[in-house]
Chains A and B, each alone.
Chain A
């Protein structure tokens, strides 16, 4: 998948992100070089504080105070105004958070319709689209529930529906299963891998090594730098195992590719 002809979606060159000044200065991201092709499903792993979430925030244009270069669709974001960045968030990027981040005083359908507001879509069209999206996540009967009336898995599915309602090319998921039990986790992962099959680029931060089995590429980070970057073969086994995976099963890492990669570096 890495050697497709289409230009990469995301190119990071010597990306640095600094927090604090003077003595407290500290690089959360310390020179990251990364090229992400369209249609990749990337799992980013690493210990707490290694800069995974910071990287995701930078990729999602929530944080544009960076050093180095970030090209999104071939264009450097350094020259984009705040307004243009907001439009890119609205039209090309979908966020899924660990803590779901639904607006608690809006019901499910209004939450899902929320991104469409900033696209300038009319009320009725928004509701229709949000409703259709919820149906595809089997949440059709939950449209008028409030977020606190849903289970964790359902809430996260609503959040994914919201992330997808704008048909974004890139989905950024920050520990989407961090607050869920393993059963709900695998349901969510199945949803994400379905999206992947439809051609979306997915970048997911996770702590759980089991979940990397769904990814086409696994990146581990350490101290603000990329530690390992492993391509996996195009997902072959997932079509026949749609049920939750055995917890015992080891993540299937493509050792050959990993070694090749290491040697190249």
Chain B
């Protein structure tokens, strides 16, 4: 049996080698499909990993409160246009912040207001630069590290700001911009600190800290005429075991403040990452579905070429049967040939997919992830394609009547 199997592989190699161009083109169909699936999976796994790593590094005692009721299911949340929510007033207010600060076991609270507006220094910044309005506690809760200077301090007089390293370079051409004046929404702020580069544009604060300017809550409120537009409140509990009770207490307090309306969402642990990661998962899902179509097309290519090959080799099938090949032998011969095509395509596709993923990742801020699940997926997918689309031609080959097969001239 083992010898027979080795022979089938030998036969498949011979016949693939004898029509090399055709085989390569057929493999290419599978290669493209597997490559796109590999690329998508590697990149989305890489993106997911960033968020998950951040949550893990936070130590597990963080809860995040966001305005708006939690949306059911992932896909409906994606389908909703985010613009609508942007223009509604946030349901979270300063009253809530004060209330949360007074709850037991709460160690630190940091509200997060993200504003849009012009930012300029020596040169004009991008109009899409996020302006983060928060309290000094954010540094502690979100583990923000500084490369120079200090973080926001309520004791300091005057309007102060901390800026991200990339923004500093964009505005001043250097990341040594302490003491300079940055104009945010027309108001001057003195830079007192530069953040350390994180290279993490995807995080649970939904802000790229490398490219942002952070101002204090009091100053920030003045920028929008004293209104509050709180996108998120980060709450840190005293320790992990108090997180649960703290969340329950916050929930109670906020419900009371909001007249019983659950128009806010409290997230903790992996849930925090979910809006970001679920978006990636859904995006990856859609792309994988599209890639799967190309795989099916590749599979049809295999089937097509195998049918041609069976027709071409009708006489050979007749000879082999006359010389003692069983139907099983003929099926194995053609099935292994189609599997060789699909697995060959799968392996090159896997390699090409990672090359593509690395090329794409040079434009992105995260690296593709290597894991055995992706390699396994690529292998299983190509095995399934090879079997699925190779079986029918193989059975057709085995069913040929040896006498009429021998009579056919090639």
Contact = CB atoms under 8 A, between A and B. Distances in A.
Interface of A: 57, 60, 62-63, 82-83, 86-87, 89-91, 95, 97, 99, 101-106, 110, 114-115, 117-123, 162, 166
Contact of B7 (A62, A90, A91, A123): A123
Closest CB pairs A-B (n = 10):
A90-B324, A86-B326, A118-B324, A115-B323, A89-B324, A62-B402, A117-B7, A105-B18, A95-B322, A101-B319
B321 A86 contact: yes
19 contacts: A60-B322, A62-B403, A86-B321, A87-B324, A90-B323, A95-B323, A101-B406, A103-B319, A103-B320, A104-B410, A105-B14, A105-B18, A110-B14, A114-B323, A120-B1, A120-B3, A122-B6, A123-B7, A166-B324
Contacts of B128: none
A179 to B, nearest CB: 12
B4 interface: yes
Contacts of B326: 82-83, 86-87, 118
B316 interface: yes
B239 interface: no
A115 B323 CA distance: 5
A105 B10 CA distance: 14
A86 B18 contact: no
B10 A106 contact: no
B327 interface: yes
Nearest to A114: B323
Contacts of B6: 122-123
B16 to A, nearest CB: 11
Contacts of B319: 101-103, 114
B315 interface: yes
B4 A105 contact: no
A89 B6 CA distance: 22
A59 to B, nearest CB: 12
A66 to B, nearest CB: 13
Contacts of B325: 86, 90, 117-118
Given A83-B328, A99-B409, A117 B4 contact: yes
Contacts of B323: 89-90, 95, 114-115, 118, 162
A265 B11 CA distance: 52
B321 A105 contact: no
Interface of B, secondary structure class, is helix
B324 A122 contact: no
A62 B324 contact: no
B139 interface: no
Contacts of B11: 117
B263 interface: no
A80 to B, nearest CB: 12
A90 B329 CA distance: 12
B7 A119 contact: no
A259 B318 CA distance: 41
B403 A57 contact: yes
B15 interface: yes
Contacts of B406: 62, 97, 101
Contacts of A86: 321, 324-327, 329
Nearest to A110: B14
Given A115-B323, A118-B329, 20 more contacts: A62-B321, A82-B327, A83-B326, A86-B326, A87-B326, A89-B322, A89-B324, A90-B323, A101-B315, A101-B322, A101-B406, A102-B319, A103-B316, A106-B14, A114-B320, A117-B7, A118-B324, A120-B1, A122-B3, A162-B323
B327 A62 contact: no
B122 to A, nearest CB: 74
A101 B320 CA distance: 10
A91 B327 contact: no
A101 B10 CA distance: 21
Contacts of B320: 103, 114, 118
Nearest to A102: B319
B324 A105 contact: no
Interface in B311-342: 315-316, 318-329
A148 B382 CA distance: 37
B15 A105 contact: yes
A121 B323 CA distance: 14
Nearest to B4: A120
Contact of A91 (B315, B324, B409): B324
Interface string B45-86: 000000000000000000000000000000000000000000
Contacts of B322: 60, 62, 89, 95, 101
Contacts of B403: 57, 62-63
Contacts of A118: 4, 320, 323-326, 329
A102 B322 CA distance: 12
Interface string B358-380: 00000000000000000000000
Contacts of A105: 14-15, 18
A105 B18 CA distance: 7
A101 B319 CA distance: 7
